[in-house]
Amino acid sequence: MLITKITSKARLVVTAVTIACLLIACGSSATPTVFPVQPGQVETSVAGTLQAITPPASATSQPTINPPTAIPTNTMIPTSVPPTAQPPANPGPVGKQIVFSTGTTQTGDHGTIQAGQILSYYLKAAKGQPMISMVNSFNSDVTMSIIGQDGTVLLPASQRSSGWQGTLPSTQTYFINLYGGSTAENFSFSVDIAARIQFAAGQNSTTISGTTVNGTIVSYAAYAFGGQTLQATLNTSPDDAGLTIWGFSDGQPYARAQNGVTSFSMQLPSTQDYIIDVVPQGGRVINYILTITIK
């Protein structure tokens, strides 16, 4: 399976731009349409859209402990309450299935939600995958909830939040409900799940080929220890695409695509997931080769 987070706040700016375009496009359509969806594609999840181009894990370069749940630093993506086990509330898929186009790590929906209406979505995802989900609306009163099929609550409806960011606790189906506000209004809903980088046994470097399908950002997650050195190189001109690199737990930006970054090297300050975004300039569709080394 295949975001931009510069700071959490800057990432939301990028998301907001995308959302604004979606709101203009959707107009007053009464029935939201999941996008992008193509026949025969697998949903985000257990296998992941980038599995074919990502070598198997290496015990020497990929930590075996689970990455910590990320804590959002921007108030527009509230920190979720600790997951709590509840009786299974979702015995099977309900609502619309969220599908990622092959090679992408972002998708979503847009349309019109009535006052008090509930729109339901579901997707499969794997344990340890970093996920960011948000809903935006004109009055900022459309909210969401996220619950696993096993009853684990990631974001309760009572929190009335418009977004969630964290590391998924288990491999299963997740249900996302959107709740309409006081009036009917247009909304834009997004889900970003970074593709996890793994290395072949005994290796500390990997090379990935990809395409910015539909001109969208492609996000990768690399788990590394504080003190290790992360190197990332993108084989494109800064006029075509750049790299944004940020910490998933601390929310700190370490490289910004808008500064023309295509090559990056830094000794990492802490142990966490590092998100590496390939950001096409101006929504371009480009082919790229990304080389990542952690040592």
For residue 21, what are the CA distances in angstroms to 103, 142, 154, 200, 230? Answer: 22, 18, 28, 40, 34
- Low-confidence spans in the chain with pLDDT less than 50: 1-88
pLDDT of 111: 94
Residue 94 has a pLDDT of 72
Q: Nearest Cα to 145, choosing from 129, 128, 166, 164?
A: 164
DSSP state of 252: -
Q: Where are the domains of the chain?
A: 8-51+71-193, 195-294
**Separation of alpha carbons 104 and 192, rounded Å:** 9
- Residue 285's pLDDT is 95
pLDDT at 207: 95
- Amino acid at the residue 151: G
Q: What is the CATH number of domain 195-294?
A: 2.60.120.380
Residues 90, 173 contacting (CB under 8 angstroms) = yes
- For residue 56, the number of C-alpha atoms closer than 13 Å in the C-beta half-sphere is 3
Phi, then psi, of 80 in degrees rounded to 5: -80, 155
Predicted local confidence at residue 91, as pLDDT: 52
pLDDT at 262 (0 to 100): 96
**Would you state the pLDDT for residue 93?**
57
pLDDT for position 150: 93
d(CA 280, CA 13): 16
Residue 23, SS3 per DSSP: helix
CA angle 161, 163, 165 (to 5 degrees): 125
Beta carbons of 211 and 103 less than 8 angstroms apart: yes
Do 195-294 and 8-51+71-193 have the same topology in CATH?
A: yes
Residue whose pair of structure tokens reads 């029935």 in the numeric block: 31
Q: Which fold has domain 8-51+71-193?
A: Jelly Rolls (2.60.120)
One-character DSSP codes across 143-196 = EEEEEETTS-EEE-GGG-BSEEEEE--SSEEEEEEEE--SS-EEEEEEEEEPEE
CA-angle at 77, arms to 109 and 68, nearest 5°: 105
Residue count (the chain): 295
Token pair 């074919």: residue: 52
